[in-house]
Amino acid sequence: MAIRYILTLTRRCSHTTTTKHLRRPFSTSAVAPSPSSTPPNISPPPPTAMIYDRLAENVKIKLKQLEQPDYRFLKYSSPHPTRVDHTPILAAPLTRVTTLPNGLRIATESNLACPTATVGVWIDAGSRFESDDTNGTAHFLEHMIFKGTERRTARELEEEIENMGGHLNAYTSREQTTYFAKVLGNDVPKAMDILADILQNSKFEESKINRERDVILREMEEVEHQTEEVIFDHLHATAFQQTPLARTILGPADNIKTITKQHLKDYISTHYSAPRTVIAASGPVKHEEILELVKKLFTKLSPTGITTSQLIAKDPAIFTGSEIRMIDDDIPLAQFAVAFEGASWTDPDSIALMVMQTMLGSWTKNASGGKHMGSALVQRVGINEIAESMMAFNSNYKDSGLFGVYAVAKPDCLDDLAYAIMYEITRLCYRPSEEDVIRAQNQLKSSLLLHLDGTSPVAEDIGRQLLIYGRRIPYAELFARIDAVDANTVKRVAKRFISDKDIAVSAHGPIQGLPDYNWFRRRTYWLRY
């Protein structure tokens, strides 16, 4: 009867004739939705309803199904984020810390089940504490410290590490320098002896210094071809111009050509002091044994010297709203970074900025499921296909920081991409969602735990936190601080760091379509009446 009624209406409309309506009840099996497709608490339309009413009710049911997915699915999983209790997995081994009379700190985390151990020396010194004339010395020293000591030649040093199957490495950042070795548990004393030897007895022969200049200059040429590194170096240069944080880690080429043995020795005597040094160990180690080894081997570290607090007070980091652009039409993709001044390591709002960074998220074109991620910015970028990749970043320093987004895109997508980035960043000041905050909290806590996979990340975490906070923050405390962030906290912190604040922009490539600085600055706030 339903089909006959539809045909009758059609004939009536086409010939404008009067037709007598049949008021017989419709069969419920013909149009009513199946029980499995009807969400709970949603009743199907009554069988005596008119056809337009029935169609309208079916549309409403489908819309509610989109808002509330199939209840059978919800029995096993939920698209709505909920807080996760990580308490059962927070029973981390105790971090033991001992401070010697000269100020040297020794920290260990024992894990007897792990076959390998990592021991290292973390020093509160980096490129930030150099002068314009000596910029690059810290990185140069990192290269030279493996080139032979009074007890070992460079070849003997390499053979000793390889014979024990170990790994010796180092890295320099703007505020820290690290030397560490990863070895089997039984070889920890040998690794400690090597670290003490290279830090206290390096020879710095002139012939090897001259040879290393060419190595570092070639390294600088390689870095120049890594556009992401160039973008962030220029971002620091424009954001912290005329301050130490503006300098690059590698230093200018002119300095590399003029650094001498005396520069290296002066840097060690000034910055490699015991109070600014942490020796950390992780794996099958015992705190008492590491402590005795340190007392025996590290005897030449100066107990006095200038502190980082004094250096920062003398020359603090000052953020300047500005931009730097390098137009290059010979490369196919444009890259740019937009940054606000962020928080320092010890700022109470630094945890909230970490959550906000996770809320903005990261995405690459080759990643699966990017269009369905929780981040609204990732959804905008993925659905509209306006970028090749994007990444939110949050860099912390002792007295400042950088918070923003880095993106890579085709030249004709820059305007849309810039709008999406600025809209979603500024939206944190006005409409942060509680669900987005909870989702970001869970992702942040998981990533922090996943990062500590191995003895080297654990030792790095111990050394870094002792230099920054003076202690290692337990993960139970850190997670409690993350859980304390809610939507109102995000809104308050966003208004502090983002709303109507100056920005720094660094761009490179075919960037003619990238909006100008005033366009970005105007979109750091919304007009609301």
Q: Which residues are catalytic?
A: 142, 212
C-alpha 204/C-alpha 260 separation (Å) is 9
Give whole-number Cα distances, 405 to 274, 335, 340, 415, in Å: 38, 11, 9, 15
C-alpha 326/C-alpha 231 separation (Å) is 10
Other beta carbons within 10 Å of 71: 13
SS3 474: coil
C-alpha 174/C-alpha 243 separation (Å) is 12
Q: What token pair was written down for 445? A: 């806590």
C-alpha 430/C-alpha 443 separation (Å) is 22
C-alpha 416/C-alpha 428 separation (Å) is 19
C-alpha 58/C-alpha 55 separation (Å) is 5
Residue 363 is given by DSSP the state E
**Strand locations in 158-240 (E):** 167-172, 177-184
User: b/e per residue, 367-399, with b = 16+ CB within 10 A?
Assistant: eeebeebbbbbbbbbbeeebbbbbbbbbbbbbb
Residue with tokens 């810290």: 138
Q: What token pair was written down for 337? A: 């970074």
Other beta carbons within 10 Å of 171: 14
Smallest CA-to-CA distance from 311 within 121, 494, 131, 89 is with 131
C-alpha 260/C-alpha 263 separation (Å) is 5
**CB 246, CB 317: distance < 8 Å:** no
C-alpha 148/C-alpha 152 separation (Å) is 6
φ/ψ (deg, to 5) at 506: -130, 130
Smallest CA-to-CA distance from 173 within 415, 398, 475 is with 398
3-state SS of the chain: helix, strand, coil percent to 5?
Answer: 50, 15, 35
SS3 260: coil
- The DSSP line for 44-66 is PPPTTS-HHHHHHHHHHHHHHHH
C-alpha 435/C-alpha 430 separation (Å) is 15
